[in-house]
Amino acid sequence: MKRTNFVLGALSGLAVVANADHILARALADTPLPGLPGGDDRVLVLVNLQGGNDGLNCVVPHGNPLYYQMRPSLAVPRGDVLALDASVGFNPNMKSLKSMYDKGLVAVVQGVGYPNPDHSHFRSTEIWQTAAPDRYEHTGWLGRYLDDARLPKNLFNGVALAQVLPEVLVSNGVDVPSIAQVAGYGLVSDRNAVARKTYTQLVTDNRFPFKSPYLAHIAEVEDDAQRGSEELPKLIGGYKPAGSYPATPLGRSLSLAAQIIGSKLGTRVLYVQHGSFDTHVNQKATQDRLLQQFSDAMGAFYADLQAHGDENRVLTMTFSEFGRRIEENGSQGTDHGEASPLFLVGGGVKGGVYGSAPNLEKANMGNVAFTTDFRSVYATVIERWLGRPSQKILGGSFPHIAALA
Amino acid sequence: MPASFNRRMAAGLNRPAGTLDVRDALKPYRGIWNERLAAHLLRRAGFGGTPYEVARFARMSQPQAVRELLHFSDTSGLPAPPDVYDPFAEDWHLGQLRGLSADQRRKFFNTIRKRSRISIVSMQRWWLNRMLVTPNPLQEKMTFLFHGHFTTAAMQKGVWPIYVWNQQQLFRSHALGNLRDLTIEVSKDPAMLLYLDNALNNKSHPNENYARELMELFTLGHGNYTEEDVRQSARAFTGWTLNRFTGSFVDNRRIHDTGLKTFLHRTGNFDGTDIVSIIYDQPACARWWASTLLNNFVYNDPEPQLIDALAAVIRQNDYNLAPVLSTVFASNVFYSDRAYRALVKSPVEYLVGTHKALALPQIVERAPVALRQMGQVLFSPPNVAGWPGGANWITSQMTISRQNFLASLVNSPMMDKSAWVDRTPMDPKPAVEMLVGQLLQGDAPSVAQTQILRYLDGSDTSALKMLNGENFQERVRGAAYLTMSLPAYQLA
C-alpha cells in the first residue's frame, strides 16, 4: 500500500483500509530505499543552539563602549576577545572556530531576526523552524525543501539526530527518522526472533476496528523505523572517523553526522542540537562552556570531513530562537531578547563578517533590532547551496546575502 | 501551547475526524457501558487497568465508575516514601563550608550530588510503583499532569531532589483541588522559585522568566498578554524567594517593588497573589485549562466551541477541579468514537499501563532506563513546556525504544508474576482471543489476529515447532509481545 494513501486516508477521515497483501506491497517501487544514488551531493547541517544564545557575548562588539556600560559584570573584557576586526570578535572560548574563521571557512551574519519578534522560546523556535513569523505552518522550511526537491526517495533524505523530530524537518511527503544514537537505534535481537519476524509483518497492517488521528502515522513511522534501523548500521558501518571528537553530546552528534555524510547515503539535510543557552542566571559559566563545546565539536567535525574529502560539500548553519536583552539582569544573566548572529561554516562559504553590527544605541525595548531577515539567509542557502528556488518554500522572495558563492 | 502541538494542529492532523455536536458534548453519557469503555476510562483517568480492574469497573454503572475514580480512599497501605536526600536536614551549613579548602568543597558537593542522583532514581521507582498499585489512579494522573504542566526539573539551577519531592506532594494534595490556589502555591514553591529564577527577582533588576512562563505556559497561553504585562508582573513577583539555608519560601519585602503596576488593564500595588488572581479573572485562563484538560483526557486539538463549553463549566465551578473532571469523565464526548483511542500514550502511561495490562505486581528494575530511552525521564522534563506529547512520542527512535522495552519485559523473570498470561488456554484460538481481549480490548485487525494465531500455533514458519506443552510459555509470551506491538497499543 502506498504511504501517500495512509496520509490521505487519515486526512479525509476515511477509515484506513490496508491491502492484505501488504508484504507484497512493500516490494513495490514506491517504497523508499535505504541508501541511494546522489550520495555525493551537497549537505546542509543545521545546528540548533537551543534556549536563546546571547549573541553579544558570542560575537562580542568589543569596539563599542556602550556594550561595556550596559554589561558591567557580564561583558567579555576587550583583551580576551578573539578579534575578527576592530569592532567585533569571538568569545574567547571559541578558539577552534576562530582558527576556522582565519582559514576563510566561517561567515558570521550579524543581527539576524524577523519583524515583530516573539519572546517566547516555543513560538520563536517554531518561527525559525517553519520560517513563518506571521502564520502557523505545520511543515518546516527544510521539510518543504525535501517535498520540493523530489529526491529519489530513501529512508535517509533528511535525518534528525535527536529523540524528537524537530519541526524544521516536518514535511508533507518525506518521512525523516529521528536518531538519538545508533547504539540504541535498532531492535535488540533476542530469543523472540521469530516473534520479531512476525512483528515486521504486522506493522504495515492497518485495518483496525476504530478510527484514530494517529493510527496511520504510527504504522508508517514504525514501518520505516524498523526497516531503517536494520539498514543503517550496515550502511554506515564501514566509516572510520578521522581524529577524535570531544566527549560531549554535540561531539557525538556531529561524529554521527560525519559518518552518515561520509557513507554517502543520499542525505541532504541533517539536524543536530546543542544547549540550553537560556541563561537568565550566572550566564558566563554556562555560555562559556556551551560555546567551547560548540567550537571544539565544529573543529573536530570539519577535520573529520576534510580527512574524508567531504568538507566542500557540507555547509553547517547555526540558529537560535533569539538573542538576549542588551542590559544584564540582576542575576548575572540576561533575559529573552531579539536579533542575534548566526554562523555559516564550510568549504563553500565566503568567510567574513556580514550584516550590520548591533546598534546598542537604538535598541528595540532594550533588545538588538534585526537588520537581516532570517529568511534572507534561508533563501541564500536554499538557492545557492541546495540549488532549489526559494520562493515557494519560504512563501516570498528575500534578498540573498553574499556569504555563499 | 507548546510549539509542537501547533504544527500538526495547523494541519488538523491531531483532531479526530467527524463532527462535534457541542450542545450534547458535555451532557451525561447514557449509552452502552462495557469492558471496552471501562478500559478507556481507566486509561484516561489513570494509567490503564488490570484485567480485574477493568472487569470490576464494567460491573458498576458508568456514573458509579466515575464516582469511584473521583473518590480518593486511604493510601496509608501504599509503599513507604523513598529516602530523599535533604541537605537542609543534615549537613547544609554555611559554617561547615567556610572552613573547607577548595578541594574539600568540591568533594563535599560531589558527595551530595551523588546522593541526589540516587534519590532521584528512588523517587522515580517509588512513583511508578505508586501509579501501578494506588487505589486512586486519578490522583496520580493529575499529579503527573501537573508535573508536566508546572514543570520543574531536578538537578538544575540548584533544584535539589527534596524540592521536587515536596513539589510533587503539593501537586498530589491539589489533585482535585482549586487551580487558582495551586497556582499561588506553585508561585511560592521553592523548586519553581529556583527553576524559573524568581528566587533572584528583585526590584532593582527584575527577572522576567517566571512571570512570562506563568502566563504563556501555565495559565493563559501565548497571545493573551503583552510584553508589557510580562515586565509589569515580573515587578509584582519581586521578593518572592527562598531562604537558602532552610530551603523554605520567604516574602522578602526589602527587595519587593512596591510601586504601581499596570497589568492586564488593571493598576495597583500588586504582589504575586494579586497577579495570579487577575490572571484567573481572565476568560482566557479558563479556556487555557479547558484546552489542557481536553488535550490530556479527551482528544488533541479540541474544537474552540468545545473549549468554550468546558471553560464555562470551569468558571461556574470557580476553578475547582473535582466537578470539572466529573463532568468530563461522564460526558458524551468522552465516550464518543471520536475520543476513543484518540490520544498517544506517553512513555510513562505506556510503561505503567503495560504492567497493568499484564497484571504485574511491581515495576521492573530497569524502568528508569527504559523511560529515558523512550524520551520521558520523571523529574527531568526537557524544558519548561514539559513533554510535547501527541505525535511527538511517535518518532522512529522512540518507537524502537518502546519495542525493545516490550521485548525485554516479556523475557524478564517479572513475567512469571503475571497473574494471567501463562494461564492463557493452551488452545491457540481462544488464547489469541484472550490476549487480544485483555491487552487491546479486541482492538486488533483480523489480519493481525490471524498472524498472531499462526505464530502461536507454529504454522507461520518452518522455524517454529507446533505449539506444545514445552514451548507454550515462551510462545504465549511472544504472542503477548506481538499483540502489544500493534500500532493501536500505542494509543490511549
How confident is the model over A306-331, as pLDDT tens digits? 999 999 999 999 999 999 999 998 88
DSSP, residue by residue, B248-297? -EEE-GGGS--S-EEETTEEE---HHHHHHHHHTSHHHHHHHHHHHHHHH
Contact B3 A126 (CB under 8 A): yes
Instruction: Inform me whether the C-beta atom of residue B19 falls under 8 Å from chain A C-beta atoms.
Output: no
A199: nearest CB among B12, B454, B485: B485
Q: Count CB atoms within 10 A of the CB of residue B219.
A: 26
Residue B308: CB atoms within 10 A of its CB come to 15
Interface of A with B in 179-238 (CB under 8 A): 179-180, 184-188, 190-192, 194-199, 201-203, 205-215, 217-219, 221-222, 224-226, 228-229
| Mean pLDDT per 10-residue section of chain B, whose length is 492 residues | 42 83 97 98 98 98 98 94 85 65 81 90 98 98 97 86 96 98 98 94 92 96 94 98 89 97 98 98 98 97 97 98 98 97 97 98 95 93 85 86 90 92 92 96 90 86 75 90 92 96
Phi, psi for residue A372 in degrees, rounded to 5: -125, 125
Quick one: cell of B399?
518507537
For residue B13, give the chain A residue with the closest CA: A213
Q: How confident is the model at residue A209 (pLDDT cuts 50, 70, 90)?
A: confident
Chain B residue numbers touching A165 (CB-CB < 8 A) = 392, 395
Going by C-beta distance under 8 Å and a sequence separation of 6 or more, which residues neighbour residue A381? A44, A315, A317, A344, A404
State the first-to-last Cα distance of chain A, in angstroms, to the nearest integer.
43
Does residue A164 lie in a domain region?
A: yes
Residue A210 has pLDDT above 50, yes or no: yes
Q: Is A123 on the interface with B (CB under 8 A)?
A: yes
Nearest to B403 among A179, A187, A205 (CB): A187
d(CA B42, CA A326): 51
- Complex ipTM: 0.88
Whether A396 shows a pLDDT value over 90: the answer reads yes
Query: What is the DSSP secondary structure assignment for residue A381, as one 8-state letter?
Result: I
Task: List Cβ neighbours of A323 (8 Å cut-off, separation of 6 or more).
Answer: A52, A53, A54, A55, A56, A113, A337, A338, A339, A340, A341, A367, A368
d(CA A138, CA A107): 30
Residue of A nearest to B410 (CA): A192
On the 0-12 / 13-18 / 19+ scale of CB atoms within 10 A, A212 is buried
Does the residue A27 lie in any domain?
A: no
Residue A3 lies in a domain: no
Burial class (CB in 10 A: 0-12, 13-18, 19+), B60: middle
% of chain A exceeding 90 in pLDDT: 64
Cross-chain Cβ contact A330/B230 below 8 Å: no
Grouping H, G, I as helix, E, B as strand and the rest as coil, residue A33 is strand
**DSSP secondary structure code for residue B35 in this structure:** H
How far apart (Å, rounded) are the C-alpha atoms in residues B301 and B311?
Answer: 15
Q: Name the nearest CA neighbour of A143 among A386, A396, A360.
A: A386
CA atoms A71, A73, A79, A81: torsion sign: negative
Spatial CB neighbours of B361, under 8 Å, sequence gap ≥ 6: B133, B417
Note down the domain range covering A142.
34-394
CA-CA distance, A194 to B477, in Å (whole number)?
12
- Tell me if A381 is assigned to some domain: yes
* Domain chopping of chain B, boundaries: 347-490
Query: What's the pLDDT at A7?
Result: 25
Of B200, B342, B460, the CB nearest to A212: B342
Interface of B with A in 211-240 (CB under 8 A): 212, 216-217, 222, 227, 230
Q: Is A335 part of the contact surface with chain B (CB cutoff 8 Å)?
A: yes
Beta strands per DSSP E along B384-425: none
Q: Is the pLDDT of residue A38 over 80?
A: no
* A295 within 8 A of A93, measured Cβ to Cβ: yes
**Residues in B 36-95 with any Cβ partner in A closer than 8 A:** none
The reply to whether A365 touches chain B by the CB within 8 Å rule is yes
Taking an 8 Å cut-off on Cβ atoms, the answer to whether A280 and B340 are in contact is: no
Query: Most A CBs within 10 Å: which of B156, B400, B421, B462, as the mutation test of the A interface?
Result: B400
pLDDT of residue B25: 98
Residue A9 inside a domain? The answer is no
Provide the pLDDT for residue A227: 82
d(CA B160, CA B84): 10
Residues of chain B in contact with residue A215, where contact means CB-CB under 8 angstroms, are 341, 487-488, 491
Mean pLDDT, rounded, for A347-353: 96
Contact yes or no for B8 and A138 at CB 8 A: yes
Q: Is residue A142 part of a domain?
A: yes
* A190 pLDDT tier (thresholds 50, 70, 90): low
> Around Cβ B211, how many Cβ atoms within 10 Å?
28
Instruction: Verify whether the Cβ–Cβ distance B200 to A331 is below 8 Å.
Output: yes
Percentage above 70 pLDDT, chain A = 86
Contact list, A272 vs chain B (CB under 8 Å)? none
A187, A202, A336, best to mutate vs chain B, most B CBs in 10 Å: A202
Helix (H, G, I), strand (E, B) or coil at A90: strand
In a domain, A313, yes or no: yes
- Chain B: residue whose CA lies nearest to A138: B7
Q: From the CA of B487, how many Å to the nearest CA of chain A?
A: 6
Residues of A in contact with B474 (CB under 8 A): 191
Q: Helices B321-329 and B283-297, interaxial angle, to 10°?
A: 40
User: For residue A22, what pLDDT band results from cuts at 50, 70 and 90?
Assistant: very low
Tens-place pLDDT, residues A95-114: 999 999 999 999 999 999 99
Residues of B with Cβ-Cβ distance to A170 under 8 angstroms: 7
The region of weakest confidence among A114-118, A204-208, B2-6 is B2-6
Cβ contacts of B454 on chain A, cutoff 8 Å:
198
Residues contacting A396, CB < 8 A, separation 6+: A375
| CB-CB neighbors (< 8 A) of B395 in chain A | 163-165, 177-178, 221, 225
Nearest Cα of chain B lies from the Cα of A104 at a distance, in angstroms, of: 36
Per-residue model confidence as pLDDT tens digits over A139-158: 899 999 999 998 887 889 99
Q: How far is A126 from chain B (nearest CA, A)?
A: 6
If contacts are CB pairs under 8 Å, which of residues 394-453 in chain B contact chain A?
A: 394-401, 403-404, 407-408, 410-411, 442-448, 451-452
pLDDT of residue B5: 41
For residue B19, the chain A residue with the least C-alpha distance is A13
Q: For an interface test with A, give the residue of B200, B397, B456 to mutate (most A CBs within 10 A).
A: B397
**Are B267 and B261 spatial neighbours (Cβ–Cβ below 8 Å)?**
yes
Nearest by CB to A213, from B14, B204, B464: name it.
Answer: B14
A200 vs B272, higher pLDDT:
B272
Phi/psi at A340 (nearest 5 deg)?
Answer: -155, 165
How far off is chain A from B471, nearest CA to CA, in Å?
12
Tell me: pLDDT of A380 over 50. yes
Residues A106 and A345: their CA atoms lie apart, in Å, by: 5
Read off the CATH number of the domain in which A289 is found.
Answer: 3.40.720
Domain annotation covers residue A26? no
Q: How far does chain B reach from its first CA to its final CA, in angstroms?
A: 21
Of A73, A37, A40, the C-alpha closest to A57 is: A73
C-alpha–C-alpha distance, residues A180 and A45, integer Å: 16
Sign of CA pseudo-dihedral B437, B439, B445, B449: negative
User: How many domains is chain A built from?
Assistant: 1
For B443, which of A11, A208, A336 is closest by C-beta distance?
A: A208
Do B383 and A280 make contact, defined as CB atoms within 8 angstroms? no
Instruction: Give the pLDDT confidence score for residue B337 in this predicted structure.
Output: 94
Q: How many CB pairs under 8 A join A and B?
A: 248
Q: Smallest CA–CA separation between A345 and chain B, in Å?
A: 28
What is the average pLDDT score of chain A? 86
pTM of the model: 0.84
CA angle B254, B260, B265 (to 5 degrees): 140
When CB atoms are compared, the residue of B3, B12, B18 closest to A123 is B3
Contact A209 B443 (CB under 8 A): yes
- Using the predicted structure, report yes or no on whether residue A189 has a pLDDT greater than 60: no
